[in-house]
Structure formats: C-alpha cells, structure tokens
Amino acid sequence: MPQLAPVLRALANDKRLLILEWLKHPRTHFPPQVDGDLVRDGVCNVFIANKLGVSQPTASEHLNVLARAGLLRPKRIKQWTFYKRDEARIAQIKREIARWI
C-alpha cells in the first residue's frame, strides 16, 4: 500500500478533487483554447487557476501533486503546460484501492 500513499494524499484536497472532476469532461468546464485541444492535449494551467480562483503558482502546486501521484499527465505546448487525466493510471488506482477495502 505504500505506493498508494501519494495518491491518497493528492486526493485529500477539495481543490484537487475539483480539478480531477473538471478534467473528466474538459469541454463542459473550460472554454476553447488557442493552443492545444482540450481533450487531446489537456487544459492549460492558466484556465485551471482561473476556474479555481487561485494564483497560477498555487494551481501549479495542486497540478504537480496530482501529476506526481500519476493522476494527471502534463504536456508542454509553447510556454504553457496543459494537463489531462491519466485514465489508465486512474483505473489501476481504483483497482488497487478496491483490493484494500
């Protein structure tokens, strides 16, 4: 279970849970972007910060925690970082948690 500890810590924050929920259906929650497709490339960290109502550095910290836990995949396009859910990893995590419950 030690490999689940970073995931559980990442999920223990309301703002990070919101990010995961929004990124599940990005077209529903975010406007179109100039660079990068919302679904294929992910959502720009600036849009996520604005929707959360926090500064970009605060949003970046939340996004980095989720990425280190394997829940999000970052992608650089020009000077921006875009984030999307790692659905395969999320499914694996769900299976691992189900084994413990």
Q: What is the pLDDT of residues 51-85, one digit of tens each?
A: 999 999 999 999 999 999 999 999 999 999 999 99
| CATH no., domain 2-100 | 1.10.10.10
- Going along the chain, which residue ranges are E strands? 43-44, 72-77, 80-85
Window from 38-42, 56-60, 61-65, 92-96 with minimum mean pLDDT: 92-96
List of residues 6+ apart from 34 with CB closer than 8 A: none
Q: Residue 4 — pLDDT band, cuts 50, 70, 90? A: confident
Residue 2 in this model has a pLDDT that exceeds 70: no
pLDDT number for residue 100: 81
What is this structure's pTM? 0.91
Q: What value does the mean pLDDT of the chain take?
A: 94
Residue 53 region, left (φ>0) first, then alpha (ψ -120 to 50), else beta? left
Give which of 9, 2, 3, 11 is closest to 85, Cα–Cα: 11
Residues 6+ away with beta carbon under 8 Å from 38: 26, 27, 30, 32
Among the listed residues 94, 9, 23, 95, the one whose alpha carbon sits nearest the alpha carbon of residue 52: 23
Residue partners of 59: CB distance under 8 A and separation at least 6: 45, 48, 49, 52
Q: Residue ranges of the domains in the chain?
A: 2-100
